[in-house]
Structure 1
Amino acid sequence: MTIEVRVPTLGESVTEATVATWFKKPGDKVAVDEMLCELETDKVTVEVPSPAAGTLGEIVAGEGQTVGVDALLATLSEGAGAAAPAAAPAPAKAEAPAKGGAAVDVMVPTLGESVTEATVATWFKKVGDTVAQDEMLCELETDKVSVEVPAPAAGVLSEILAPEGTTVQASGKLAVIGGASGAAAPSSPEPAAAAAPAPAASTGKDVEHAPSAQKLMAEKGLTPDQVQGTGRDGRIMKEDVMKAVVAPAPAAAPAPAAAPRAPVAAEDAAREERVKMTRLRQTIAKRLKDAQNTAAMLTTYNEVDMTGVMELRNEYKDLFEKKHGVRLGFMSFFTKACCHALREVPEVNAEIDGTDIVYKNFVHMGIAAGTPQGLVVPVIRDADQKSFAELEKEIAEKGRRARDGKLSMAEMQGGTFTISNGGVYGSLMSSPILNPPQSGILGMHKIQDRPMVVNGQIVIRPMMYLALSYDHRIVDGKGAVTFLVRVKEALEDPRRLLMDL
């Protein structure tokens, strides 16, 4: 029985994609849901799984070919034993057998939901080193987390295919373990069956080139000016880079940078150090700038007398730790107070989706945590349903794993509101930036003794400034001020939380 492999749904308003890589060739046996090929759209990479177990027959759309939604990619003969057609072999990345023993490929592990690429941060071993099974070989960095890659088998690291700084795709090959390095050079790219589309004229706007093309350009030492892009709006695809490697075009004059760096004196330049931004730092920078560019961000301030919380904490902290095995901190009080206020002002817990407002009848609380690699925001799911002890345990555990770089992508997704505590670093006042697509973020600050007037008397009280940044497109000033006042009231008299007042 012949089964058709077709282009899946690519996403809203996306009507076509380019076939980037075939992981199988005609005649290969495939299992159900095994990845057959990878498609690239203007923004994302889409993997196409096998709809059934069997043998891959004809590849209809070769690498580099543009295909529409539901277009035929290949045929599959269901069941074992189907012979591959003699003609139309697809280009395959063949590998010669290792000499003196079986070679084992070291592949990029699963990176997390929607994560398609990573950067090789550190190799702990070098070519020729003997490695034990499950011994750490290298560390990869994604947009949010670090991923360690263990050795799949014991042997000798015979070849490193992705050195430090290389961008690798999900399911890509990192290295080879065996008795000797026997990897053959990648086969020369076959010319596309169909005529290549005419090069697109420059549109003058930013074009995001295919991730696989960017990786290959970095490996071959090419710049985008040296490659003729044939994708939409002049987008460079992997096939374009491979053509440029075979027949490099004359080097073009380098284009001026969009924001050139100011001239630096020679004696100063000699004392500078240039370090490439990590993927995490690049993502933080992009998301923060996107938040400023997208949201109508505004910040409102208030202050809270922490006497009530501190007295309650001092009275019960020993008993609390003895019973629950975790220290009673301030974060559980602030989380409870925010959940209480979000029920009264639900738009602060909502998000904008096009022309709709999506209200959340739950609170997934993001707790910003500083790490040596940068700021990350683990999410406490259903924080409004958790007790003080449950909150303290989960906040402490996720904070510890964040500092160790052990958080998964899933643990940092889905937040509806965020709390950021700059006070642990000594910050007295700041304006936090929204964590898109959320509409609100609360900034905590340093607790400082200040003279306050209470009942006509000047007394010394432990005070903290609070800052609520919010998206003014969805949250009005009245709602923002009301939210902050409710948080202040709940913290100054924690009994209100018990009475739901």
Structure 2
Amino acid sequence: MIVEIKVPSPGESITEVEVGTWLVENGSVVSKDQEIAEIESDKATLTVVAAEGGKIEFKAEEGDTLEVGTVVCTIDTSVAPTEGEKQEKETEAETEELEKIEEAKPKDEEKNQEPAKEVKVSDEHDKVKVTSVAREMMKDLNLSVDDIVAGLRRIGKKEVEAVASMPKSDSGTSLPQPKEASRDEERQKMTSLRRKLSQRLVAVKNETAMLTTFNEIDMSFVMDLRKKYQDQFVKKHGFKVGFMSFFTKAVAQAMDFHPMVNAQLDGEEIVSPQYVDVGIAVSTPKGLMVPIVRNAESKSIPQIELEIKELATKARNKKISVEELTGGTFTITNGGVFGSLLSTPIINPPQSAILGMHNIVERPVAVNGQVVIRPMMYVALSYDHRIIDGKDSVGFLVKVKEFIENPERMLTGGHEPEMLLLDI
């Protein structure tokens, strides 16, 4: 039986997609639910999976633009994958998982482990490195290296890439050789996602009155808070708390004092949402994506942190839905993870403002008449001056600064705890 695999609909507003990358070879035998291709829309990159197992035949090439519902490939189920092929895929997945676990282990644990041995085999095979995991498996199965090498029936792309990426053995220490002079050029077609992003960035520049205001934040209070309670936080919630959740919560509460920063222009009307949906800019191999944390104003810091982690993981693994990328009333972008000290972030339309976080650097600052060293972060707020006045933009950024430097105020609605205690 021939099964047709059609282009899925990434979202209601999307009518066509681009075939990004085929994850299997044309004519190969795939298993049911195996990821076979990546498709790209102007909002996200998603994967296509095999509805049944069998021999695959492509109906489109990488880079082709297809309408939603078009047949992208067919699968001949009469050529089902053999048990050996299924087992091979399962073994590869298990090996990758073991390697991830090994890489995640602390360095001191690695020192106590037995290193991979060099096992001598026949002259035909020279030397073969055997990992501890493989060595244990071979021991249990009573297999030698010659048995394993002799049992290999096929050399595929993965095996070639694995050997090509192995470091060259060199007993001596020599300086890296300069690159060979070249005048070659490479050309690569822009993806749908990057084309759409380019159009939006140019539109922002041409259609908004964008200005940027700056401030700096003393991060020592939040850093001390995380250091003091991180272990207890992990024990209760199962994950670490980062800076982004604090800024997301601070932004959501600062909107109570400066709601125009959360507003949007719709023709000649100003739309003021009574909720705060914060977009978190995430860098992925396919470009920038901005998943949305809905109703951040009503969520706790642990809830926000978990949602950010889940959305970022989905975005990087191409598992995120268009709905999770659509909407948003405000955006936060963190250039500090790449080492940026200061920048002017660009607005994400139709929003009216965006907060830029930056690198944390220890700098001398004046505190109570004394020069002290504190971990400082520059922050920037880019805003559309057509809808947000300077008073609101500056006041909003100051309020965010107050929340981060005094985290306890997030529990008191932005007011000083002492004033609430004294009822003044």
Asked if these proteins are the same fold (TM beyond 0.5), I'd say yes
- Alignment correspondent of 1:162: 60
The 1-side partners of 2:45 and 2:59 are apart by 19
The 2-side partners of 1:477 and 1:147 are apart by 40
- Alignment correspondent of 1:107: 6
Q: In the comparison of the two structures, how many residue pairs are matched?
A: 313
The 2-side partners of 1:305 and 1:364 are apart by 26
Q: Deviations over 1:50-107 (max 9, x none)?
A: xxxxxxxxxxxxxxxxxxxxxxxxxxxxxxxxxxxxxxxxxxxxxxxxxxxx432221
The 2-side partners of 1:133 and 1:488 are apart by 52
Bigger Cα displacement from structure 2, 118-127 vs 339-348:
118-127
Instruction: Give the structure with the larger helix fraction.
Output: 2
Partner of 2:256, secondary structure, is helix
The 2-side partners of 1:454 and 1:434 are apart by 34
Partner of 2:21, secondary structure, is strand
1:327 equivalent in alignment to 2:240: yes
1:308 equivalent in alignment to 2:221: yes
Partner of 1:310, secondary structure, is helix
- Alignment correspondent of 1:138: 37
The 2-side partners of 1:132 and 1:454 are apart by 64
- Alignment correspondent of 1:147: 46
1:114 deviates by 1.0
Identity %: 52
The 1-side partners of 2:323 and 2:50 are apart by 25
- Alignment correspondent of 2:383: 470
Counterpart contact for 2:53–2:77, Cα < 8 Å = no
Q: 2:259 aligns with which of 346, 349, 352?
A: 346
Distance 1:315 1:108, change over 3 A: same
Structure 2 residue ranges without an equivalent (≥5): 79-180, 416-424
- Alignment correspondent of 2:288: 375
Name the Cα RMSD after superposition: 1.9
Q: 1:385 aligns with which of 298, 308, 317?
A: 298
1:269 deviates by 9.1
Q: Taking CA–CA contacts closer than 8 Å with sequence separation of 6 or more, which of the two structures ends up with the larger relative contact order?
A: 2
Q: Which amino acid aligns with 2:246?
A: F
Structure 1 residue ranges without an equivalent (≥5): 1-101, 181-267
Partner of 2:318, secondary structure, is coil
- Alignment correspondent of 1:62: none
Partner of 2:365, secondary structure, is strand
User: Structure 1: which 4+ aligned runs deviate by more than 4 Å?
Assistant: none
Q: 2:279 aligns with which of 344, 362, 366?
A: 366
Q: Which amino acid aligns with 1:326?
A: F
Distance 1:478 1:149, change over 3 A: same
The 2-side partners of 1:408 and 1:430 are apart by 30
Q: 1:456 aligns with which of 333, 349, 369?
A: 369
Q: Deviations over 1:251-308 (max 9, x none)?
A: xxxxxxxxxxxxxxxxx99411111112221122111111111111000001111122
Q: 1:298 aligns with which of 203, 211, 227?
A: 211
Counterpart contact for 1:113–1:410, Cα < 8 Å = no
1:356 deviates by 0.3
Counterpart contact for 1:145–1:406, Cα < 8 Å = no
The 1-side partners of 2:297 and 2:402 are apart by 18
The 1-side partners of 2:27 and 2:371 are apart by 74
Q: 1:289 aligns with which of 182, 202, 206?
A: 202
The 1-side partners of 2:34 and 2:244 are apart by 38
Q: Deviations over 1:220-244 (max 9, x none)?
A: xxxxxxxxxxxxxxxxxxxxxxxxx
Residues 417-456 of structure 1: pairs in structure 2 closer than 5 A: 417-456=330-369
1:147 deviates by 2.2
**What TM-score do the two structures reach when normalised by structure 1?**
0.60
Partner of 1:175, secondary structure, is strand
Counterpart contact for 2:219–2:405, Cα < 8 Å = yes
Partner of 1:344, secondary structure, is coil
- Alignment correspondent of 2:322: 409
Counterpart contact for 2:47–2:319, Cα < 8 Å = no
